[in-house]
Structure 1
Amino acid sequence: MKRENISSGAKWEDIVGYSRAVKIGNIVEVSGTTAVVEGNIVGVNNFYLQTKTVLQKISDSLEKAGASMNDVVRTRIYVTDINYWEEIGRAHAEFFKDIKPATSMIEIKALIDPLLLVEIEATAIIAPE
């Protein structure tokens, strides 16, 4: 099967050696995504806004790969403070209320920048037409 690497254009992709998303066949894996837009962190101290921003970025990446949020079967949500699970969950539900992918929400010690609060990975499987 053909492999397609989808880039966001972030400088970190070449430095670290990764793609925003990778599509092989009808499967799209989206890398851990944070609320950095054009080099700036969106939603400092705001778990809800960071989660919404991340999910919109994931949606945009899926679109570039020929998929959509409707194709997402799994999300993994990494958070720096699990006490904000309701805010994070509310933003997640705004995208996935009717889709209901399998998910995990995991509290971690830190992300790469202390102002980042949420990082999300996604797996999508494009159903044959």
Structure 2
Amino acid sequence: MRSSVQVEKFGVSWEGVYGYVQAIRRGDTIYLSGQLAHDGERLVAPAPVDAEGRVTDFGNMGEQMRQTYANAAELLKRFGASLDDVVEETVYTLDIDAAFAAAGPVRKEAYGRPDPQVTSTLLAVSRLAFPEQLVEVSFTARV
């Protein structure tokens, strides 16, 4: 027997352009697509970029991370879950040093404990979806 499937979206334009959902639940597992720092169509704390679209300052990393975790929490809530149910996250960033410095405090705040009980992988990438984007995080939760 096939288990029921629930999907969630934010209703932002890039969901339709790229063709995906923000989250899907299959059985007792919830998979979240890479989350980023947005509030609707607006990127939160966009990084400054030069004429070629390259980031010139990574100082907004913490603020972008905070919004990213808030967006993930919002999606999980729609499934009756929370960040407490996350078992794995993958953090994609343009700058490992800036992400590592911001991640400790932001993650501990988001997960509400000094030792988040979640596996985590931090990866440097050459580009993310938007030029002003510094970080993206995907999540897997079990309920």
Same topology, TM > 0.5: yes
Which residue does the alignment assign to 1:24?
26
Is this contact kept in 1: 2:45–2:63, CA < 8 A?
A: yes
1:113 aligned residue (127, 130, 140): 130
Which residue does the alignment assign to 2:90?
76
SS for the counterpart of 2:24 is strand
Which residue does the alignment assign to 1:90?
105
Is this contact kept in 1: 2:6–2:24, CA < 8 A?
A: yes
1:20-50: CA deviations, max 9, x gaps?
1000111100000111212111122300000
Give the aligned residue type for 1:48. G
Q: CA deviation at 1:4?
A: 0.8
Identity of aligned pairs, percent? 26
SS for the counterpart of 1:122 is strand
Q: Which blocks of at least 5 consecutive residues in structure 2 are unaligned?
A: 48-59
Aligned-residue CA RMSD in angstroms? 1.2
Give matches, 1:38-77, under 5 Å.
38-45=40-47, 46-77=60-91
Q: CA deviation at 1:113?
A: 1.3
Equivalences, count: 126
Q: Select the structure of larger CA radius of gyration.
A: 2
Q: CA deviation at 1:74?
A: 0.5
Is this contact kept in 1: 2:10–2:40, CA < 8 A?
A: no
Tell me which stretches of 4 or more aligned residues in structure 1 moved more than 6 Å.
none
In 1: Cα distance, 2:137 partner to 2:19 partner: 18
